Amino acid sequence: EIVLTQSPGTLSLSPGERATLSCRASQSVIRSYLAWYQQKPGQAPRLLIYGASSRATGIPDRFSGSGSGTDFTLTISRLEPEDFAVYYCQQYGGSSYTFGQGTKLEI
């Protein structure tokens, strides 16, 4: 099973700043099978990025994804107040989905 490790665990930034979140896999991930989600307290996760770099429907262009192999990155170019949340990466392989442990983005 592929293990996804996200870093940092917590990221403290201010509105207007740039956020860079990392997701590292224990073995190579098929690039098209890497996704990112945002989750706010008491809510279900929301799909942000699929295929490592494609934005899901309705996602603002300040969100971008990149990477390949074992290293993937979610970048939020200019933080808005509503972006402070927990972010998860997810991959599919071996007939199962695995999630990273999450990065909490806080003000």
Q: By CB under 8 A, name the binding residues for another protein.
A: 32-35, 37, 39, 43-47, 50-51, 54, 56-57, 88, 90, 92, 95-102
Concatenated DSSP letters of 67-105: EEEEEEEEEESS--GGG-SEEEEEEEETTEEEE---EEE
Q: How far is the CB of 93 from another protein (least distance, A)?
A: 9
Q: How far is the CB of 16 from another protein (least distance, A)?
A: 28
Tell me whether residue 14 or residue 57 sits nearer to another protein (CB atom).
57
Tell me whether residue 14 or residue 96 sits nearer to another protein (CB atom).
96
Nearest Cα to Cα of residue 91 among 48, 38, 36: 36
